[in-house]
C-alpha cells in the first residue's frame, strides 16, 4: 500500500477553500473512490505525487503532452519566450506562425482564430455558425462533451427527437430549448432532430469521441452527416479539441475524408499551455469582428508563452518520422494485452484505438454510443483503477475518459503495465 498522507492532507486543506477540493471536476476521484493524488512534478511518461510516489501516466494532462512531461525542446522554447514577457495584449508574429502550421494539416479550414480553452473555441464556433446560417437551434450528441458553456451542457430529453434539458443547475430552459441531442453513430436520430426543429443552425460532434471513453464515429455516419448538412444548409462543426494532432497529424481526416465547415482544436496545439482555436471556411470566419459583426474577444488569446509551446510542439510532431505509427502500435500493444489478460480472468473488456488515443470498457458488447458506454461495469472499473494505482499506473479516474500514449513510452513500459494489470485482475477476482 502506497503512502499518500501528504495528498490526503492537501486534499483536506483544498476542500476548505475550493469547492470539492479540485478546480475541475474531472480531477476528483468520486467515481473510483479514494483521494485524488496531488502531483508535484512530471518527467517523460512519469508523474510523481507530493509523497514522492512514482506513476506511469496515461492521462498526460488529459491529452496535450504527446511528447511527455518536461520535454526539453518545449521547455527550452517556453523559457526563452518567458524572458521576453508574459503577455502583451497585442499581436505577435508567433500567433500567425502557429496558425500557419495548423492550416495545411486540416483540409477545408482556411482561416483560424486563437482562444484560451476548448470551451471558448466551441462556444465561439456555435455563435459564428448561428450568425452564418441565420438559424437558432443546434444538434449535439449524447456523450460528446464540448465544454461547459450553457448551450452545450444539455442532456438528452425523453427521446432523440426532443429538445434537451439542462444537465447543470444554473442553465435556463430558454437556452437549452435550442439544443437537440441525437444519438452518436445513429443518422436516423439526427434526421428526427432536424424534423423536430426545422431551424437547425449547426451540428457539432466529436468525430473521435473521447468523453464517453474512446468511441470513434463510423465513417459512413460521418459522411452521411456531411451530406445532410450540405442538403439542408447546416453548418457542420467538428470538435477536435482532444483528437486534433492526437489521433493523427490530420485529426479525423487521417481516417475519414470529411471536411468541416468549422473545426475546433485545443490541447496538443498548446503543448501543455492553455490554448485552443477555432477555424473554418473563409466566408464564415470573415463574419468575425473586426471584419464582420460577430463579436468574440479575449485578453490572453494567442498568449506568447502558449503559442511558443504550441509552435515547437507542432514543428516537432512534423519532424518526428513515423510518430503516429509508433504511438498507435504501442496503444494496440497495450489494449490487446489488457483484453487478453482480462479474458484469461473471465472479465469482459472492449477496447478501441485511434492513433495515440486508447480506451477500454468493462462491457460485454462493443460500444458505439453513450447508451452502450453506460452499460459498462463502472464498479469493476473503480476496483481496477484502485489496484493499478497501488501498482504505480495512473489511468484517468473515470470509465468514461480516454487514455494517451506519449513518445517516451516504449514496449518495456507497456509490458510493465500489463504485468500490473494481470496482478490487479487477480486481486479483483479474489
CATH number of the domain at 231, please: 3.40.640.10
* Domain containing residue 407: 5-70+322-429
Copy the grid coordinates of residue 284: 464564415
- Tell me: do 290 and 234 sit in the same domain: yes
Catalytic one of 145, 184, 324, 394: 145
What DSSP character marks residue 376?
S
Q: What is the pLDDT of residue 158?
A: 40
CA distance 129 to 261: 9
The answer to whether residue 327 scores a pLDDT higher than 90 is yes
Confidence of residue 167 (pLDDT cuts 50, 70, 90): confident
- Tell me: do 9 and 141 sit in the same domain: no
Q: What is the pLDDT of residue 156?
A: 57
The answer to whether residue 20 scores a pLDDT higher than 70 is yes
The answer to whether residue 159 scores a pLDDT higher than 50 is no
Establish how many alpha carbons lie within 13 A of residue 5's alpha carbon, considering only the half-sphere containing its beta carbon: 1
> Domain ends where: 319, 343, 373?
319
Confidence of residue 1 (pLDDT cuts 50, 70, 90): low
Q: What is the pLDDT of residue 163?
A: 61
416 in Cβ contact with 55 (< 8 Å): no
The answer to whether residue 190 scores a pLDDT higher than 70 is yes
What pTM value is reported for the model?
0.96
Count how many domains the chain has.
Answer: 2
Q: What is the pLDDT of residue 160?
A: 45
Which residues in 154-171 are b (16+ Cβ under 10 Å) and which e?
Answer: bbbbeebbebbbbeeeeb
Number of Cβ within a 10 Å radius of residue 51: 17
Q: Which helix (H) or strand (E) holds 403?
A: strand 403-404
The answer to whether residue 116 scores a pLDDT higher than 80 is yes
- Tell me: do 315 and 415 sit in the same domain: no
The answer to whether residue 182 scores a pLDDT higher than 60 is yes
> Domain ends where: 319, 353, 376?
319
Q: What is the pLDDT of residue 179?
A: 94
- Tell me: do 282 and 399 sit in the same domain: no
CATH code at position 54: 3.90.1150.10
pLDDT in tens, 202-251: 999 999 999 999 999 999 999 999 999 999 999 999 999 999 999 999 99
- Tell me: do 144 and 198 sit in the same domain: yes
39-43, 45-49, 150-154, 242-246: which has the minimum mean pLDDT?
A: 150-154
Catalytic one of 71, 186, 239, 261: 239
> Domain ends where: 291, 319, 347?
319
**Mean pLDDT, residues 392-397 taken together:** 97
- Tell me: do 187 and 326 sit in the same domain: no
* 239 is known as an active-site residue: yes
CA distance 318 to 328: 16
Q: What is the pLDDT of residue 161?
A: 44
CA distance 397 to 213: 11
pLDDT in tens, 268-290: 999 999 999 999 999 999 999 99
59 in Cβ contact with 402 (< 8 Å): no
Copy the grid coordinates of residue 388: 493499478
- Tell me: do 37 and 119 sit in the same domain: no
Spatial CB neighbours of 90, under 8 Å, sequence gap ≥ 6: none
- Tell me: do 402 and 309 sit in the same domain: no
Q: What is the pLDDT of residue 154?
A: 81
- Tell me: do 207 and 296 sit in the same domain: yes
* 267 is known as an active-site residue: yes
**Mean pLDDT, residues 175-180 taken together:** 89
- Tell me: do 220 and 297 sit in the same domain: yes
Confidence of residue 175 (pLDDT cuts 50, 70, 90): confident
User: For the purposes of burial, counting CB atoms within 10 Å of the CB of 338, is it exposed (0-12), middle (13-18) or buried (19 or more)?
Assistant: buried
Copy the grid coordinates of residue 180: 437537440
Catalytic one of 267, 316, 324, 372: 267
358 in Cβ contact with 331 (< 8 Å): yes
- Tell me: do 313 and 374 sit in the same domain: no
- Tell me: do 100 and 210 sit in the same domain: yes
Q: What is the pLDDT of residue 273?
A: 97
**Mean pLDDT, residues 401-419 taken together:** 98
**What is the average pLDDT value for the chain, to the nearest integer?**
95
CA distance 74 to 272: 9
The answer to whether residue 413 scores a pLDDT higher than 80 is yes
Q: What is the pLDDT of residue 166?
A: 77
Amino acid at each position: 500500500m502506497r503512502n499518500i498522507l501528504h495528498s490526503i492532507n492537501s486534499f483536506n486543506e483544498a476542500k476548505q477553500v475550493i469547492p470539492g477540493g479540485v478546480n475541475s471536476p474531472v480531477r476528483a476521484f468520486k467515481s473510483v473512490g479514494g483521494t485524488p493524488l496531488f502531483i508535484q512534478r512530471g518527467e517523460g511518461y512519469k508523474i510523481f505525487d507530493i509523497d514522492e510516489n512514482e506513476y506511469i501516466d496515461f492521462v498526460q494532462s488529459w491529452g496535450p503532452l504527446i511528447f511527455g512531461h518536461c520535454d526539453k525542446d518545449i521547455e527550452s522554447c517556453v523559457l526563452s519566450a518567458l524572458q521576453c514577457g508574459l503577455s502583451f495584449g497585442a499581436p505577435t508574429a508567433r500567433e500567425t506562425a502557429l496558425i500557419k502550421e495548423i492550416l495545411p494539416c486540416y483540409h477545408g479550414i482556411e482561416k483560424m482564430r486563437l482562444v484560451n480553452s476548448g470551451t471558448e473555441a466551441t462556444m465561439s464556433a456555435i455563435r459564428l455558425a448561428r450568425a452564418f446560417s441565420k438559424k437558432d437551434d443546434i444538434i449535439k450528441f449524447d456523450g460528446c462533451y464540448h465544454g461547459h458553456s450553457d448551450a452545450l451542457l444539455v442532456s438528452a430529453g425523453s427521446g432523440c427527437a426532443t429538445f434537451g434539458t439542462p444537465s447543470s443547475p444554473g442553465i435556463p430552459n430558454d437556452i437549452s430549448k435550442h439544443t437537440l441531442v441525437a444519438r452518436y453513430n445513429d443518422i436516423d436520430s439526427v434526421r428526427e432532430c432536424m424534423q423536430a426543429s426545422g431551424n437547425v443552425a449547426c451540428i457539432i460532434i466529436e468525430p473521435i469521441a473521447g468523453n464517453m471513453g474512446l468511441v470513434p464515429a463510423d465513417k459512413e455516419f460521418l459522411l452521411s452527416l456531411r451530406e445532410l448538412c450540405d442538403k439542408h444548409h447546416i453548418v457542420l462543426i467538428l470538435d477536435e479539441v482532444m483528437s486534433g494532432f492526437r489521433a493523427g497529424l490530420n485529426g479525423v481526416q487521417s481516417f475519414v475524408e470529411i471536411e468541416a465547415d468549422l473545426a475546433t482544436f485545443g490541447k496538443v496545439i498548446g503543448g501543455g499551455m492553455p490554448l485552443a482555436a477555432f477555424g473554418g471556411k473563409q466566408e464564415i470566419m470573415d463574419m468575425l469582428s473586426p471584419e464582420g459583426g460577430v463579436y468574440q474577444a479575449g485578453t490572453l488569446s494567442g498568449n506568447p508563452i502558449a503559442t511558443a509551446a504550441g509552435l515547437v510542439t507542432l514543428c516537432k510532431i512534423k519532424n518526428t518520422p513515423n510518430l503516429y505509427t509508433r504511438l498507435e502500435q504501442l496503444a494496440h500493444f497495450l489494449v490487446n494485452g489488457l483484453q487478453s489478460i482480462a479474458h484469461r480472468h473471465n472479465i469482459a473488456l472492449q477496447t478501441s484505438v485511434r492513433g495515440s488515443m486508447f480506451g477500454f470498457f468493462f462491457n460485454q458488447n462493443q460500444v458505439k454510443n453513450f447508451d452502450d458506454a453506460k452499460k459498462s461495469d463502472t464498479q469493476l472499473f473503480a476496483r481496477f483503477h484502485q489496484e493499478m494505482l497501488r501498482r504505480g499506473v495512473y489511468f484517468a479516474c473515470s470509465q468514461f475518459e480516454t487514455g494517451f500514449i506519449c513518445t517516451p513510452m516504449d514496449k518495456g513500459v507497456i509490458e510493465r503495465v500489463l504485468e500490473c494489470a494481470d496482478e490487479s485482475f487477480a486481486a479483483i477476482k479474489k
